[in-house]
Amino acid sequence: MDGMQHWSEDVIQHIRKQESKIQNLEKENHELKEKIDLLEKKLAYYENPHTPSSARKLSEKKVQDAEKSEEMKKRGAPKGHKGATRLKPEPDEIIDVIAKECEKCGSQNIQDLNEVKKNTIEDLPPPQKIEVTQFNRHRVKCRDCGHEFISKHPDCPQIGHFGIFLLVYVTMLKFHLRGVLRKIQDFLLYDNDFEISTKGIHDILLRVGDVCRISYEKSIERIRNAAWMHIDETGIKINGKKYWLWIFRTNDNDILVVIRKSRGGTVLDEILGEDWDKPIIVDGWKAYWKYQIVQRCWAHLLREIDAFKDVSDNGKQLSETIHNCFDSLKEFLAKGPSMSERRKQKLVFEREMKDIVEKYSKCKELHKPTKYLQNGLGKW
């Protein structure tokens, strides 16, 4: 900068302006890079093989809606759109309305012209009030065996003072409508003229839970008696804390969903029992490694592979190859082959998968999907 003393003042001012402009551009460039990194992280949530298709479709819909909102359009449905007018329901009651007097002069000399204007309305009946029923349960004695007991009625609960419909109603308000106890209390008072404390509501929910536990234990019993099992797990937030939602589906389509803090093998021992020795269809999570008969899930594999189909031509070829293998597998199974035929074909498929791994593992950009494929060899 010492040489500036020989330059004119205009040149020096121009240089300083350019230096200031460069600094501002560098700062702006740095801020834009940070924004890009942040957006890429958000985008990765929806565009990765571990994101369920429902979430990806939701993201795509948001993008499409945003793009549509930017376009100036006329109000109303687009051309060719099928109307969504609600169909009129069949009436439960028909009321003939015939005036008794003239609305102009008040005369009662009215003639029915047999011309009817129909208006169909839908409305709610007045809120139901709580019905209080007293059951006089007589003590009786069997004349044959001498056994004495109290008579039972299907609508009279053996425990507590609330009927089954009220128990179900409160449970629906809590879980289906996601009501908090205080709001449920207010709603019951306003809508049904039923006064109950928040503790009373909580006790109702606990009682329903105790009854449901019987069904829950029967579900676990059916799970343990299944011939084979689909299992998957996914993260879920509860009050801001990370939990895991596990789903188990049997060959008979019995389904059990549990939420636990753990993603480990303790959950599997709890649900399947510690001596489970039957086939499971799962992803590559390490908690499943201890089981002897494992069928790796093709849905997970296809998502992993397809996530790299746009990375390179090799990625596209790998995706097409795996999809062709899957189609061949489905065609073979659709023929209802015998067990001996299955064993022979299994060797053929396994050789094909090994060849695929060997071919595409040489591509550095496909290291992750080929590693996923390799880790499941013998179980696809």
Pair 174, 189 in one domain: yes
Q: What is the mean pLDDT of the chain?
A: 87
Q: What secondary structure does DSSP assign to 154-187, as a single string?
A: TTS-SSSS--HHHHHHHHIIIIIS---HHHHHHH
130 domain-assigned: no
At residue 367, the pLDDT reads 92
Residue 60 has pLDDT above 90, yes or no: no
88 domain-assigned: no
Tokens (6 digits) for 200 = 């009373």
Residue 207 has pLDDT above 70, yes or no: yes
CB 290 within 8 A of CB 309: no
pLDDT single digits (tens) 81-104: 666 677 888 999 999 999 999 999
At residue 157, the pLDDT reads 83
60 domain-assigned: no
189 domain-assigned: yes
Pair 167, 195 in one domain: yes
Region 142-157: mean pLDDT is 92
Q: How far is Cα 212 from Cα 167, in angstroms, rounded to an integer?
A: 12
The more confidently predicted of residues 48 and 309 is 309
Confidence at 4, pLDDT banded by 50, 70, 90:
low
Pair 364, 308 in one domain: yes
231 phi and psi, to 5 degrees?
-135, 140
Domain range enclosing 307: 298-375
Among 243, 267, 294, the domain-final residue is 294
Tokens (6 digits) for 150 = 């109290």
Pair 307, 369 in one domain: yes
Residue 65 has pLDDT above 70, yes or no: no
* Residues paired with residue 256 on neighbouring β-strands, in sequence order: 248
Q: How far is Cα 249 from Cα 226, in angstroms, rounded to an integer?
A: 9
Region 266-277: mean pLDDT is 94
172 domain-assigned: yes
At residue 51, the pLDDT reads 64
Region 174-181: mean pLDDT is 90
Chain centre to alpha carbon of residue 66: 24
Region 70-77: mean pLDDT is 60
Pair 308, 362 in one domain: yes
User: What are the contacts of 249-254 at 24+ separation with CB within 8 A?
Assistant: 250/222, 250/223, 250/226, 251/226, 251/227, 252/222, 252/226, 254/219, 254/222, 254/223, 254/226
The more confidently predicted of residues 69 and 361 is 361
Residue 53 has pLDDT above 80, yes or no: no
Q: Indicate the SS3 state at residue 286.
A: helix
Tokens (6 digits) for 94 = 């028909």
Pair 159, 185 in one domain: yes
Q: How far is Cα 351 from Cα 378, in angstroms, rounded to an integer?
A: 9
At residue 40, the pLDDT reads 77
Pair 279, 316 in one domain: no
Pair 371, 309 in one domain: yes
At residue 126, the pLDDT reads 83
Residue 316 has pLDDT above 60, yes or no: yes
Give the range among 69-73, 129-133, 166-170 with minimum mean pLDDT.
69-73
Of all residues in the chain, what percent carry a pLDDT higher than 90?
62
At residue 155, the pLDDT reads 87
Q: How far is Cα 360 from Cα 311, in angstroms, rounded to an integer?
A: 13
Residue 225 has pLDDT above 70, yes or no: yes
Distances (CA, A) of 85 to 80, 81, 82, 204: 15, 12, 9, 41
229 phi and psi, to 5 degrees?
-145, 135
Pair 302, 288 in one domain: no
Chain centre to alpha carbon of residue 123: 32
At residue 49, the pLDDT reads 65
Region 290-310: mean pLDDT is 92
Name residue, tokens 């023929």.
335
At residue 160, the pLDDT reads 82
Question: How many distinct helices (H) and strands (E) make up the chain?
Answer: 10, 7
Pair 331, 289 in one domain: no
236 domain-assigned: yes
Of all residues in the chain, what percent carry a pLDDT higher than 70?
87
Give the residue among 200, 207, 260 at the shortest CA–CA distance from 236: 260
132 domain-assigned: no
- From start to end of the chain, where are the E strands? 139-141, 148-150, 229-238, 241-250, 255-260, 280-282, 294-296
Among 163, 193, 214, the domain-final residue is 214
The more confidently predicted of residues 157 and 367 is 367
* Residues paired with residue 296 on neighbouring β-strands, in sequence order: 282
Pair 302, 371 in one domain: yes
At residue 54, the pLDDT reads 58
At residue 198, the pLDDT reads 95
22 domain-assigned: no
At residue 202, the pLDDT reads 95
At residue 66, the pLDDT reads 58
Tokens (6 digits) for 95 = 């009321």
Among 248, 272, 294, the domain-final residue is 294
CB 102 within 8 A of CB 69: no
Domain count, the chain: 3
Region 19-25: mean pLDDT is 89
At residue 85, the pLDDT reads 73
Pair 287, 305 in one domain: no
Residue 158 has pLDDT above 60, yes or no: yes
